Amino acid sequence: MEWQPIILATVGSLTLLSPNKTAEIPAQQEIQLASNSPVEVVEAAPAAYPNRIEIAVNITDHSDLKIAQDMTIAKGQVISDRIPEKTRLQAQQRQLQLSLERVLATSIQAPAKPLPVPAVAPLPPVNYLEFEAAIERANIAIALSQEEITIKEQEIQELSQIPDLDPILIEHEQAKLKQLQLNHQIAFNELELAQGKLQTAKQAREYQEYQASITAARRVEEENQAKAFYQRQLAEYNEKIAAKEIQVTQLQEKINVIQSQIENLQIVSPYAGTVRNIEFLGQSEDGAIAVKILLLVKNSDQ
């Protein structure tokens, strides 16, 4: 029966040697690997099973090697485990995990929305009826007093035409005329006063409207400033949230990378068998020692 190799990939390297003899297994029998083995079967022979394989691993110290020559090992048994490096990576991982927990525990408060600026109460409707009525009354009083004065002047003129009229009577009527003229002047003063009050009321209204326009403009400005301040705070809040998410992602990625490195530091045997030979190939510049292990594999049904 022709022998077909099984190509396996590990963290180090695993190579099949062409055996002198191969153990024949049923055509439909599957090769069972340890569940925690990093070895991946890329191609498997349906009718043949290798009885010898080479496993290449890298260690940093002889104590990292967990097997010895002529030792019988089980499938999934640890071949090498780089404990010092694993301890160092686990310490880094714990520090990163603490940093991640601190970042996740950091609370970022969203800015409060600005309160609405109180609305400006509208001015009451303008009303000058009281002042206009006072002006109208003053005009009427002036007209009436002027008419009375005219009538009284005519009466005095007529009386002065009567011969032998008692002068006291004319003096009495002239006194009445003076009183009417005084009343006329008082009515005229009342008109000027009413007109002045109307003008003052109009000026006061204009000032109120001016103040109201300033208040309204100030309210708009305060509202715009509050909105702009809120937008700045919101932008800073979003930046902090984004920075936190980036930091969490970066820390998690570093933790995952270290976890992968830790998992790859331990190499397990993909098969059960007997260690026939352990050969130390040399040490690289980074201090890693290359080791080649020759494993005599048992049949899969053993």
**Tens-digit pLDDT profile for residues 121-163:** 888 898 899 999 999 999 999 999 999 999 988 988 888 888 8
Q: What is the pLDDT of residue 249?
A: 96
- My answer on whether 275 and 255 are in the same domain is no
- My answer on whether 43 and 78 are in the same domain is yes
What gap in Å lies between CA 186 and CA 204, rounded to an integer? 27
Q: Is the pLDDT of residue 9 over 50?
A: no
- Asked if residue 87 belongs to a domain, the reply is no
- Asked if residue 123 belongs to a domain, the reply is no
Q: How do residues 202-216 score in pLDDT, each as one tens digit?
A: 999 999 999 999 988
User: Which of the residue ranges 40-49, 227-236, 267-276 would you say has the lowest mean pLDDT?
Assistant: 40-49
- My answer on whether 136 and 249 are in the same domain is yes
User: Which of the residue ranges 15-29, 94-108, 167-181 would you say has the lowest mean pLDDT?
Assistant: 15-29
User: Which of the residue ranges 18-22, 174-178, 187-191 would you say has the lowest mean pLDDT?
Assistant: 18-22
What gap in Å lies between CA 151 and CA 177, rounded to an integer? 9
Q: How do residues 218-248 score in pLDDT, each as one tens digit?
A: 888 988 999 999 999 999 999 999 999 999 9
Average per-residue pLDDT in the chain? 81
Share of the chain above pLDDT 70, in %: 82
- Taking residues 83-88, what's their average pLDDT? 89
What's the domain range around 59? 7-82+265-297
Q: Is the pLDDT of residue 259 over 70?
A: yes
Q: Is 59 helix (H, G, I), strand (E, B) or coil?
A: strand
Q: Using pLDDT thresholds of 50, 70 and 90, give the confidence band for residue 201.
A: very high
- Taking residues 44-69, what's their average pLDDT? 76
Q: What is the pLDDT of residue 37?
A: 38
Q: Are strands 78-81 and 289-297 parallel, antiparallel or unpaired?
A: unpaired
Q: How many other CB atoms sit within 10 Å of the CB of residue 58? A: 21
Scanning the structure block, which residue is given the tokens 């006072």? 134
Q: What is the pLDDT of residue 277?
A: 92
- Asked if residue 11 belongs to a domain, the reply is yes
Q: What is the pLDDT of residue 20?
A: 33
Amino acid at 298: K
Cα distances (Å, whole numbers) of residue 9 to 25, 28, 55, 100, 293: 22, 23, 10, 34, 15
- Taking residues 39-48, what's their average pLDDT? 37
Q: What is the pLDDT of residue 6?
A: 33
Cα distances (Å, whole numbers) of residue 204 to 106, 191, 212: 59, 20, 12
- Asked if residue 90 belongs to a domain, the reply is no
User: Which of the residue ranges 4-18, 49-63, 114-128, 168-182 would you say has the lowest mean pLDDT?
Assistant: 4-18
- Asked if residue 39 belongs to a domain, the reply is yes
Q: Is 29 helix (H, G, I), strand (E, B) or coil?
A: coil
Q: What is the pLDDT of residue 50?
A: 59
- My answer on whether 140 and 243 are in the same domain is yes
Q: Is 301 helix (H, G, I), strand (E, B) or coil?
A: coil
Q: How many domains does the chain have?
A: 2
Question: Which residues, 6+ apart, have CB-to-CB distance to 107 below 8 Å?
Answer: none
Q: What is the pLDDT of residue 202?
A: 93
- My answer on whether 249 and 270 are in the same domain is no
- My answer on whether 248 and 282 are in the same domain is no
- Asked if residue 27 belongs to a domain, the reply is yes
Q: What is the pLDDT of residue 205?
A: 93
* Residue 229 DSSP label: H
- Asked if residue 95 belongs to a domain, the reply is no
- Asked if residue 106 belongs to a domain, the reply is no
Q: What is the pLDDT of residue 35?
A: 37
Question: Which residues, 6+ apart, have CB-to-CB distance to 80 below 8 Å?
Answer: 57, 59, 64, 65, 66, 67, 266, 267, 291
H helices of the chain, in order, are: 83-105, 129-160, 167-264
Q: What is the pLDDT of residue 101?
A: 94
What gap in Å lies between CA 81 and CA 155, rounded to an integer? 142
Q: Is the pLDDT of residue 5 over 80?
A: no
For 55, phi then psi, to 5°, come to: -120, 120
Amino acid at 220: V
